[in-house]
Chain A
Amino acid sequence: MRISLSKEIMKAEGKDQMLSSVVPASKEKSGNLDLLRGAKEKSMVKPMKEAKPIEECACPVVEARNFSFYYGSKMGIKDITMKIQPCAVTAIIGPSGCGKSTFLRSINRINDLIPNIRVEGEMFVNNQDIYVKQINLVNLRQQVGMVFQKPNPFPKSIFDNVAYGSKLQGIRKRGDLQEIVEESLKAAALWDEVKDDLRKSALSLSGGQQQRLCIARALATKPSVLLMDEPCSALDPISTGKIEDLIDNLKKDYTIVIVTHNMQQAARVSDQTAFFCLGELIEYDSTTTIFERPNKKQTEDYVTGRFG
């Protein structure tokens, strides 16, 4: 529901009379109508926007408090404290090896797969410290979806890929699955390209299509936080453009954290930007501030390309 709604609104963007006809059609999330309208108005003053106040959004808050992450004895990130705005796009930038992926992957605990890791401090999702023992990782990951740097579809059909998460959650009815797949593929702007052949192997898609498929797969489980680790690094400008549009549409309903090496991309899609260096959070502010008048010399050097 949430996905199709956002899609509708996105289409209606710039046509106010249409918006009013679309919004009441959604019953499920009526509590969010104001928020959505707010988001829409905000997006009029693109490209640089200030973050919305937290209360406006139903998405959970992601917050790190003095969070450190170690690979064995090797430090990955150190003492990160940051609060990620809900229903907004937060970009993480920084030189290679500075711990961007480490931070991102700490938010859904996918780093748990690596042996000998250790964390200090706290990471909150929805006011719940996710590194306490009794946390249910399955629930966490249903709430916090992830798109990886390299497209990683399963060697299955397009349909099965998108339906994968829902099947894991125990949705079996063919009709339900079909609905979810269509919704998700539409939200990921892939539907028109694949709708005629959902049985085709996902591996036969192009890289850009595969990446959008992975986004659709992540959306299908209806998370509220979406983590994206350099989602466009392997893509051509057209696919990148599509994914950026997609991110822009999705942020009304999702809290999005995106790691990117592309400054323009960060400036284009994000509301907030965090600059990491050597495992530390150097500066975290609105994207406008970071790119136009950063407070730290280091940040300025990096965003202007003078970083050594």
Chain B
Amino acid sequence: MSFYIVQFLTGLASAASLFLVASGLSIIFGVTRIVNFAHGAFYMLGAYVAFTLTERLSGTLGFWGGIVGAALIVALIGVIVEMVLLRRIYRSPELFQLLATFGLTLMVEDLVVLIWGPDDLLGRRAPGLRGAIDFFGQAVPTYDILLIVLGPVVLGLLWLLFRRTRWGVLVRAATQDRDMVAALGVNQKWLFTSVFALGVFLAALGGALQIPRDAVNHTMDLRIIVDVFVVVVIGGLGSITGAFVAAVLVSELNAFGILIFPKISIILVFLVMAVVLVVRPWGLFGKPEAAARQTPGLSVRPWRPLSSNERLAFIGALIIAAALPLLGSNYALIVGAEIAIFVIFAASLHFLMSVGGLASFGHAAYFGLGTYGVAFLAKFLGLPMIVCLLIGPLLGLLGAMLFGWFAVQLSGVYFAMLTLAFAQIVWSIAFQWVEVTGGDNGILGVWPAAFVATPARFYWLALFVTALSVIVLRVLVFSPFGYSLRATRDSALRSEAIGLNSKRIQWTAFVIAGTFAGIAGALFAYLKGSVFPDNAGIALSVDSLVMVLLGGVETVSGAVIGAIVYKALSIWLVSYTELSKLVLGGMIVLIVVAFPKGIAGTFGNLVDSGRLPFFKRALPRASQAEGAE
């Protein structure tokens, strides 16, 4: 019995940090309507800075001064970020805000390694709280008791702040109605900045408080952000009480999940999240959001099927690509095949994101499932390659059916958070279920059949599947289904009013996108000859987002161009710099702020302005039809 109580107390202690970070995220969202993906990065920074400060300062005062000082320093960094970056994107589409803050996260990850090195750092333990309290024969660390008390205390302080201070009243008013506060003559800019500073302070404090419990390392940002997303999805975005209750719930589920499903403890959290989503889609304490800004798009240029000149250009490009084996080295062919595979991957996300307006932040889940699908079939059942390639992607399809059903119940930021959490679940299963997946060691020896065993032949196979996939997806875009999907994106109200079942249409799109991602994954497994958990990792999900974004979310062909440019660039980057995440993150931020239409979108603008006559289409005439007279 006492064992369970101790387990429960450990859960409560873990909940403290989770609550701090989640409440910060919620407060920022309430006022600015931005889901700050960089929140995990601020948490991590808090831990690193606190590590450094507590190493330098001695004594009890030094330790606690270091913890609070770290949170203040990081909050100051947050203020700078808000003023330099966020102020430029408050009016941008949701997707761009998510991406910009995600780009920031990537940059911080590399910066942290640059400053503190790649190894785990063990922080100082709190002076006077090093010991443990004996609890019916079980030891509970004193520090844990402190954390358990701290959670409700912070909750109470926040409550006082929002109820009893003028600033708090303003923040609550702004949460309800931004324009009204502006009308009252409140300086909105500084209100936003101060709210962001408070949110970041809480995140950093959460990180700083972890150092006596856990090693500090450069992956803790993603670990916490996924947990935080789960917390706000369960508790309800924007509710501090919800954040507290859900943080406790999730921490306890983690603490006891280990006992029930030692290998895949994350399953329990997932099940609870699924139930909450079905019963209360906006979380236990959340309020239904009014439909958010629609479409990732920025302008309205209707899509058209390719003109005959464009078709020629496509075929020409394909012929040139097919001729690569005549010129290129084996290395070039392997790179070429990888790029081709990523074209499928990006095109599948594009279908979901640009056509359906559903920006998935966890699309790699289905890519990864495709790789494992192939690996299972090839290694466990010994099936030939063709069969594996045909059946393997079905694992991606099944995953997309399951997760997609839940994901499409939500939209906007909730959809983004949920898809990310699902991808993390897939990754965790691949990582933890060692008996089946091989865990971190992956599954090796997934070799292609003899008839495509040379780089040239494999390249041709990849190119063939890619061309086919891109054509099929393109046909889909212009098909009745593609238009129905776009209709649900353009106006949920109108589409329901003309008989379209939005949820079912979006679910179908999710499954289609997941299947094509699975196809890409299946090929990828054979290209690499092995599969690893990272095939479903967050980094890969972000890659796919950037490819679509780089090409241009509003265009049909953008994903293809984006994938080619991005993949070539990143392969080149990785071989030339250690700091690929820094460059990549910087690139994302730059695209969002300065170049939001991407390559193909900018190209389209050039065509429309008549500067590229070869691609010119017959522009619709602005005729003067008037009235029914």
Q: Note whether A and B form a binding pair.
A: no
Residues of A at the B interface (CB closer than 8 Å) are: none
